[in-house]
């Protein structure tokens, strides 16, 4: 895919800057559109395929962005397939399973998981608890920057 993985865009560094030397950043609208693309893809895989497909390895590295920054899932190596008539306790998978350096879905992509995400606290509940008074404390600071080059 021409724009690489979502990880590259979310965790930009000098190694992932574009050819002009500018950092690649996603604005709020682009992030929302990527979330919508992924939600639609998950809905399709889970509800509209003849064989239910569960990806099992969703993370920014496995989200690929095309020329228009439309999001697509990649790396179905851990995927599980269920037929609608099959026993819900049975699934099948084919081939080698896993990703080299597999990280749990709640991994922050830096190799650690925050101790606060134990028990019933997950990312969804964490964000919901911040609404509406504390959103500014959890939002990505890049979204708050007022760079003239993005305007």
Residues recognised as catalytic: 57
Q: Per DSSP, what are the bridge partners of residue 43? A: none
In angstroms, the CA 130 to CA 43 distance is 27
C-alpha 122: how far from chain center: 15
Burial class, 6, CB count within 10 angstroms (exposed 0-12 / middle 13-18 / buried 19+): buried
In angstroms, the CA 45 to CA 55 distance is 8
129 C-beta neighbours (distance < 10 Å), count = 10
C-alpha 78: how far from chain center: 15
């Amino acid at each position: 895919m021409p724009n690489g993985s979502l990880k590259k865009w979310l965790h930009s560094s000098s190694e992932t800057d574009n050819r002009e030397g500018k950092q690649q950043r996603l604005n709020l609208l682009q992030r929302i559109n990527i979330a919508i693309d992924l939600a639609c893809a998950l809905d399709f895989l889970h509800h509209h395929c003849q064989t239910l497909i569960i990806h099992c390895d969703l993370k920014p590295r496995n989200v690929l962005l095309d020329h228009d920054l439309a999001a697509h899932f990649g790396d179905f190596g851990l995927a599980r397939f269920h037929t609608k008539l099959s026993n819900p306790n049975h699934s099948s998978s084919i081939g080698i399973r896993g990703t080299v350096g597999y990280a749990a879905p709640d991994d922050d992509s830096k190799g650690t998981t925050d101790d606060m995400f134990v028990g019933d606290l997950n990312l969804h509940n964490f964000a919901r608890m911040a609404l509406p008074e504390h959103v500014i404390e959890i939002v990505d600071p890049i979204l708050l920057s007022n760079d003239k080059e993005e305007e």
